[in-house]
Structure 1
Amino acid sequence: MTATATTTMAAPITISAHVPLKFRHEQKHQLSLQEGLVLSARLKRLFALDPHAGHDGSYSVHSLYFDTPYDRALREKIDGVDRREKFRLRYYGMDASFVRLEKKMKRGGLCAKRSTRLSEAMLQELLKGNPACLRESDDPLLLELYSKLQGELLRPVCVVSYEREAFLYPHGNVRITLDRKIQTVAVRHFLHPSPPSLSVLADICVLEVKYDAYLPTIVSMAVQVPGRQAMACSKYALCRRFD
């Protein structure tokens, strides 16, 4: 696997008059579980763990993705469309009382994300298929989702769950994550902490490296795994294969 430093980065792009976005580099690598364990041991000696993680340094992630009736987000991902976006709801751990709406964007190989918290009442109405409550909000992201639920017929299509181990390095604002036990469940089970699930790829680990303008040499060297190179690896696309 090759990770090289770079000193170029696109200027922040403004999606609305009030929300300037900072796009970041993102590298993804698909590893075996054994490779992931070896890499985890190395990273623990070099970098700080995410302070929000549990006692073992990991936490669970649960995401509910939206797509159009013709699966535009999925098709654009598979086709490698340069400018694309997708919406998801997400919460962490076993507590589904704090759920955020996120919009992830890709531009020229860089990524950015906008997010906002959903009230419990809004969340329940949205999951029931009643998005009208979003129309009363003054939050631009909630209003955008409402517009696309109505105009593009976005609807919830897939839940993706996994265990994440995260490491931080301040120089370059680097975040390294190792995702394991990738599973998908029925949309109706999104808020259930332990629903019946289907293991997607039980024998793989997904490595992600995100950073701002440059990737420090120490990180580039630390994430080296012989024979592995950066590749497209979407957990959403993997889980959609089991629709």
Structure 2
Amino acid sequence: MNIVSRQEKKYLINLVKSAQLQSYFSHFLTLDSNNAKGAYTVRSLYFDSIDDRDFHEKEEGVELRRKIRLRVYDPDSPYAMLEMKKKQGSDQLKRSLPIPRNDAQRLIEGRYDVLLHYDLPFAKELYAIMSMYLYRPKAIVEYDRIAYCARSNNIRITFDANIRATESDFDLFSKTLNLYPVFVNDRVVLEVKYDGYLLSPVKLALERCDQSEISVGKYSLSRSVGLRYVYG
């Protein structure tokens, strides 16, 4: 199991600002190894309670909240990452557990007892939460990511573009998902994650961003857009 605890800032920027920042960061940050051939794809299936508790807490700005998801980077992957993120203000704790493809498919079908086969407190905690609050798959969100890293303070900066989603197909491993665009005009979600404090050049660049720091989550964005498609 992997545990990551750090601070996080998010910004919603346009493509021009994204290109400018990427050019700037490329001078002193390292491009993620996964970007050797360009942007790589991230696909996440989000679960939520039967009454959409996690979605509404995000929309209402509840200070302490969580997200539960399955994540893959390739539909042919033999495994998926089962993750739970807990956030309080700018601090976040992410715990991840790699599980075989078959177990991921069982979770999508609502068979949460598969988690009891893992001798880990995290798996049992997830089983209790997902069973107690009747969690169900709610949306798949996919996007193209460019990432930059620095060893100092474990800094990781990501640019997520071409964000698309679906609330009608929960086959995480499908190669033919029917996805709708989350933004009508081109927008990029900029995420900055770090331990302790930001390096001065990074902090300076963020201070010059045209957009103020916002609380933007891809799951809540996709659900909001999906509701607009349904209700107009």
Q: TM-score normalized by structure 1?
A: 0.85
Q: Where does residue 77 of structure 1 map in the other structure? A: 58
Return 87-96 or 205-214, whichever deviates more. Answer: 87-96
Structure 1 residues 148 and 94 mapped into 2: Cα distance closer, same or farther (>3 Å)? Answer: same
Q: Match for 1:219 among 175, 197, 202?
A: 202
Q: Where does residue 100 of structure 2 map in the other structure? A: 119
CA displacement at 1:191 relative to structure 2: 1.3
Q: Where does residue 215 of structure 2 map in the other structure? A: 232
More helix by share: 2
Q: Where does residue 165 of structure 2 map in the other structure? A: 184
CA displacement at 1:195 relative to structure 2: 1.8
Q: Where does residue 45 of structure 2 map in the other structure? A: 64
Amino acid at match of 1:82: E
Does the 8 Å CA contact 2:4/2:95 hold for their aligned counterparts? Answer: no
Q: Where does residue 13 of structure 1 map in the other structure? A: none
CA displacement at 1:98 relative to structure 2: 2.6
Return 78-87 or 133-142, whichever deviates more. Answer: 133-142
Using the alignment, how far apart are the partners of 1:50 and 1:87 within structure 2? 25
Report the number of matched residues.
224
Q: Deviations over 1:58-112 (max 9, x none)?
A: 2110001111111111111111111111110001144332301000011243111
Map 1:19-38 to 2 at 5 A.
23-38=5-20
Q: Where does residue 49 of structure 1 map in the other structure? A: 31
Using the alignment, how far apart are the partners of 2:98 and 2:177 within structure 1? 23
Gaps of 5+ in 2: 228-232
Q: Alignment partner of 1:230: what SS?
A: coil
Does the 8 Å CA contact 1:96/1:193 hold for their aligned counterparts? Answer: no
Q: Over aligned residues, Cα RMSD in angstroms?
A: 2.0
Using the alignment, how far apart are the partners of 1:230 and 1:72 within structure 2? 24
Using the alignment, how far apart are the partners of 2:2 and 2:188 within structure 1? 33
Amino acid at match of 1:36: S
Q: TM-score normalized by structure 2?
A: 0.89
CA displacement at 1:21 relative to structure 2: 6.0
Q: Deviations over 1:183-239 (max 9, x none)?
A: 002333321134221011151011111110111102112344442221111111110
Amino acid at match of 1:230: E
Using the alignment, how far apart are the partners of 2:75 and 2:4 within structure 1? 30
CA displacement at 1:137 relative to structure 2: 2.0
Using the alignment, how far apart are the partners of 1:21 and 1:131 within structure 2? 21
2:129 pairs with 1:169 = no
Structure 1 residues 223 and 171 mapped into 2: Cα distance closer, same or farther (>3 Å)? Answer: same
Identity %: 33
Q: Where does residue 124 of structure 2 map in the other structure? A: 143
Point out 4+ residue stretches in structure 1 off by more than 6 angstroms.
none
CA displacement at 1:168 relative to structure 2: 0.4
